[in-house]
């Protein structure tokens, strides 16, 4: 069940509204309520004043209209008795000589509460101040509808009895445009989701502004924002409504509708309440803002019982590559930004340490290639001669002709010095020194080569008065896939914040936008070379026998696990659930489960390596630096996480 993993299904409904045609509007509202119920939406919000329509003008003061609206509201409430979920309906309501623009929360035949609009616009575009009063200045706490006392006010939070994460609040149109929107206080009061009933007119450029405002507010409250605005059926006397509906979560739009369509519309998505809860716990500023909340911002909580979902299918996109932007434009922009962060960090380290030279162990693989590109960009920033970049290739027992040739051609085309130092004789001597059989291709055999290479790089750096630039990436650090005091060590590690799946795209970006023709071709061949540490001998026919992903698993899976386990703090069973969706066409459940177990085992057992990391720049929202984002005991065990994978 999606509920088991902390999801709540929310909807934004946009019925066709006709000015003052209450009977037809009610019919259209009920039709969308039935559609929402069929989709098992937990909460569905309708536009502002949707029963009467937004554009009623002086007719808002007619008792005939107001009485008809209440009759309609009660009819809608009655219909809801047999429907799934909660419905938020916009309507005008008069009390104590004041008229309020309200949202009624309706569920299973009951009106749970009514929230009035706080901020009433009165300008060239909106004239609400002519008719409506602000809920901010109302001291009405309850109203009598159909002989039932119903909570009324801007201080209402709606809370599920059977799911503590399900808490929502309401604001209406202009409230979002306020300097401090009511939703900011509601979020600090505990609301994870904000529903906005709106009737926003469409003007040139306003759509993007509105969309960005909703994205920003969902990020500011660290929550979800569900927005529904009136459509083209509204009066066009002076303005036009396009009917914009948006569902956003923590700064990202999950779904939005097509505007200006001439039929009713319903959009829905599953929002991740568990992720919202984690992000709030993770954000100390949010907790400090709660502490600073004034006493007069205390809320009344209205409790309801959540409906039981039968639907097990998740209705939201699960990104199989969470570290990679989803469009070419965003990818190019993001790649440029990452290279700037990496190269700026390195440039500052070189400058502040008074180094004008760098040493790189260049293998012809992805990571060392990216390190070279970053170093070149750093030298550009400092206006240093490329002759200060000392690339060293160190062929060993498993070095392939393909990778060796790519190294030589790349340095030749870039006019960068390349020195070749074989590690074979030194490794054989070391095997002899420690009494290791050279034909035993075990961990000692492999790590001897890795440490020999690191020793060469460190000593050459001393010789050249240079800085050793590390090549290891974020994915390798997560899996402990590095030799302690071997490739694990450097003087500055530029790739430590970049996951393996992103490394390829950064090199591709460089090939497509910066590199010249021959260099670009070499970079593309490096991208297409199988990932290997090349520490074991080649096959009889010169084929590569040691492929990293055959040993530890596909990096696309491990990067998916890394993001969801560490960045989102999801449970193992939730990660498995999401991975089954994201990789349905690529991997079986058994395969995913196998590599997920290995991920947890390697992640926990490799912490001691991360505890001794060299400096390196954080480039995204996830870092495993012990000095920054990730502080974890090296002796922690993975048993509790692995047990949960198999508990069912």
The catalytic residue positions are 48, 117, 173
Q: Tell me the H-state helices in 305-400.
A: 328-352, 366-382
CB 172 within 8 A of CB 148: no
What's the residue count for the chain?
A: 648
**Secondary structure (3-state) at 482:** coil
**Secondary structure (3-state) at 11:** strand
**How far apart are the C-alpha atoms of 364 and 277, rounded to whole Å?**
43
Cβ contacts of 640 within 8 Å, gap of 6 or more? none
CB 624 within 8 A of CB 630: yes
Tell me the DSSP string of 234-248. S--SS--B---EEEE
**How far apart are the C-alpha atoms of 335 and 324, rounded to whole Å?**
9
Among 457, 360, 345, residue whose Cα is nearest residue 410: 360
**Residue 106, class by beta-carbon neighbours within 10 Å (0-12 exposed, 13-18 middle, 19+ buried)?**
buried
Q: Tell me the pairing of strands 142-145 and 110-116.
A: unpaired
**Secondary structure (3-state) at 265:** strand
Q: Which residue has the tokens 């909807």?
A: 11
Among 218, 125, 234, 139, residue whose Cα is nearest residue 171: 218
How many helical (H) and strand (E) elements, i.e. helices and strands, does the chain have? 20, 20
Cβ contacts of 391 within 8 Å, gap of 6 or more? 360, 362, 372, 407, 411, 416, 417, 418, 419
The token pair at 482 is 């590095």
**How far apart are the C-alpha atoms of 503 and 527, rounded to whole Å?**
9
**How far apart are the C-alpha atoms of 158 and 166, rounded to whole Å?**
8
Computed over its alpha carbons, how large is the radius of gyration of the chain?
30
Helix (H) or strand (E) holding 457: helix 443-464
**How far apart are the C-alpha atoms of 473 and 459, rounded to whole Å?**
23
Number of Cβ within 10 Å of residue 615's Cβ equals 15
Q: In what order do the strands lie in the sheet with 98-107?
A: 110-116, 98-107, 86-95, 43-45, 7-14, 265-272
Long-range contacts of 305-308 (CB under 8 A, 24+ apart): 305/160, 305/161, 305/162, 306/3, 306/42, 306/160, 306/161, 306/162, 306/163, 306/166, 307/40, 307/42, 307/84, 307/85, 308/3
CB 28 within 8 A of CB 41: no
């Amino acid at each position: 069940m999606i509920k088991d993993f902390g999801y709540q299904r929310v909807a934004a409904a946009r019925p066709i509204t006709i000015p003052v045609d209450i009977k037809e509007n009610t019919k259209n509202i009920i039709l969308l309520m039935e559609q929402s119920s069929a989709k098992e939406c937990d909460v569905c919000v309708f536009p502002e004043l949707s029963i009467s329509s937004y554009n009623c003008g002086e007719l808002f003061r007619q008792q005939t209209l107001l009485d008809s609206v209440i009759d309609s509201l009660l009819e809608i409430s009655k219909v809801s008795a047999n429907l799934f979920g909660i419905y938020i309906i916009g309507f005008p309501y008069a009390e104590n000589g004041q008229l309020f623009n309200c949202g009624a929360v309706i569920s299973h035949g009951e009106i749970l509460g009514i929230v009035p609009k706080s901020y009433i616009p009165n300008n060239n575009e909106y004239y609400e101040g002519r008719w409506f009063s602000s809920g901010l200045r109302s001291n009405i706490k309850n109203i009598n509808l159909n002989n039932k006392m119903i909570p009324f006010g801007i201080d209402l939070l709606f809370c599920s009895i059977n799911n503590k994460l399900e808490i929502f609040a309401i604001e209406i149109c202009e409230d979002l445009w306020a300097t401090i929107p009511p939703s900011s206080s509601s979020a600090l009061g505990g609301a994870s989701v904000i529903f906005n009933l709106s009737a926003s007119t469409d003007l040139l450029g306003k759509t993007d502004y509105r969309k960005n405002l909703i994205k920003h507010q969902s990020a500011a409250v660290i929550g979800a924002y569900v927005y529904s605005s009136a459509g083209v059926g509204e009066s066009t006397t002076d303005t036009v409504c396009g009917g914009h509906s948006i569902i956003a979560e923590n700064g990202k739009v999950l779904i939005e509708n097509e505007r200006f369509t001439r039929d009713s519309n319903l959009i829905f998505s599953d929002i991740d309440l568990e992720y919202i809860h984690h992000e709030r716990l993770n954000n100390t500023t949010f907790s400090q803002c709660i502490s600073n909340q004034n006493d007069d911002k205390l809320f009344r909580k209205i409790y309801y019982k959540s409906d039981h979902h039968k639907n097990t299918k998740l209705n939201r996109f699960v990104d199989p590559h969470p570290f990679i932007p989803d469009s070419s434009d965003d990818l190019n922009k993001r790649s440029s930004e990452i290279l700037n962060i990496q190269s700026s960090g390195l440039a500052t380290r070189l400058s502040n340490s008074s180094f004008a030279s760098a040493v790189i162990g260049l293998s012809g693989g992805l990571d060392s290639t990216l390190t070279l590109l970053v170093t070149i960009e750093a030298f550009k920033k400092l206006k240093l001669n490329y002759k200060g970049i000392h690339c060293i290739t160190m062929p060993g027992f498993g070095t392939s002709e393909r990778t060796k040739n790519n190294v030589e051609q790349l340095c030749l085309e870039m006019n960068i010095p390349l020195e070749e130092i074989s590690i074979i004789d030194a490794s054989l001597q070391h095997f002899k020194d420690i009494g290791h059989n050279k034909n035993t291709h075990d961990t000692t055999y492999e790590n001897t080569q890795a440490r020999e290479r690191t020793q060469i790089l460190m000593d050459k750096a001393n010789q050249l008065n240079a800085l050793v630039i590390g090549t290891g990436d974020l994915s390798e650090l997560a899996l402990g896939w590095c030799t302690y005091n071997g490739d694990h060590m450097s003087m500055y590690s530029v790739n430590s914040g970049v996951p393996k799946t992103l490394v390829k795209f950064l090199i591709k970006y460089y090939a497509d936008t910066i590199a010249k023709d021959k260099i670009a071709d070499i970079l593309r061949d490096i991208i297409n070379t199988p990932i290997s540490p090349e520490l074991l001998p080649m096959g009889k026919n010169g084929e590569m026998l040691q492929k990293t992903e055959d040993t530890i698993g596909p990096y696309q899976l491990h990067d998916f696990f890394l993001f969801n386990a560490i960045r989102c703090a999801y449970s193992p069973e939730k990660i498995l659930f999401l991975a089954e969706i994201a990789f349905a066409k690529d991997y079986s459940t058994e395969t995913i489960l196998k590599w997920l177990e290995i991920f947890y085992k390697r992640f926990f057992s490799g912490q001691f390596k991360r505890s001794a990391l060299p400096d390196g720049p954080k480039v995204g929202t996830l870092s495993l630096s012990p000095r920054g984002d990730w502080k974890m005991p090296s002796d922690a065990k993975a048993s509790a996480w692995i047990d949960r994978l198999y508990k069912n």
